[in-house]
Amino acid sequence: MDGGTGTAQNWFAVAGLQASRPVADRMAGAFFLRWPLVSVLEIGASAQAVGIARQYVTASLGEWACPFGIREDMELICSELVSNAVQATLSLPALRPAEPWPLGLRLLGKRQRIVLEVWDCHPGVPVRQVAADDAECGRGLAIVHELANRWGSRRLTAHVKAVWAELLLPGPATRPQR
């Protein structure tokens, strides 16, 4: 499946459900209780956030015994999504002097899929860009688009959005034997 900017309806499609917005809103709380593996991290939007988030994802997926290739892809996706969230959030006016805006990261795992959500407080929605060959930035969502089975964004509250990416795990017949 190809990625693209999602909606609340597409978000629930990650779980194989298709729901209208009111149904999706009612289901949101109960839906995530059905993920057997959940890991959450809150960090400040700072220069260290990408490294901290990447280490956290690496450690969590290692604990969950995810295949190495999935871990590598999700680490890169995490780097790109958190980097975008930091850049967008740092463009906002400061909350209080010396206090960074918070970012959130949530990993959700099931037997057949891993989903990474990155939350930030910037009101804009992510837009995949076409970067010039010599550009130093602008490729993050293109990388996410290529690596993820599906990705998108959704508004959590009036002031918080989440950008998510999903990776499908290989089936039992294709998993490497250890």
Q: What is the pLDDT of residues 12-32, one digit of tens each?
A: 333 333 333 444 444 455 555
Per-residue pLDDT, 97: 58
Q: What is the CATH number of the domain that holds 108?
A: 3.30.565.10
Residue 125 has pLDDT above 50, yes or no: yes
The reply to whether 158 falls in a domain is yes
Task: Provide the residue range defining the domain that includes 112.
Answer: 8-168
- Note whether residue 140 is domain-resident: yes
As for how many domains the chain has, the answer is 1
Angstrom distance (rounded) from CA 16 to CA 6: 14
Whether residue 174 is contained in a domain is answered as no
CB proximity list for 108: less than 8 A, separation 6 or greater: 32, 35, 37, 38, 114, 115, 116, 117
The band of 89, judged by pLDDT with boundaries at 50, 70 and 90, is confident
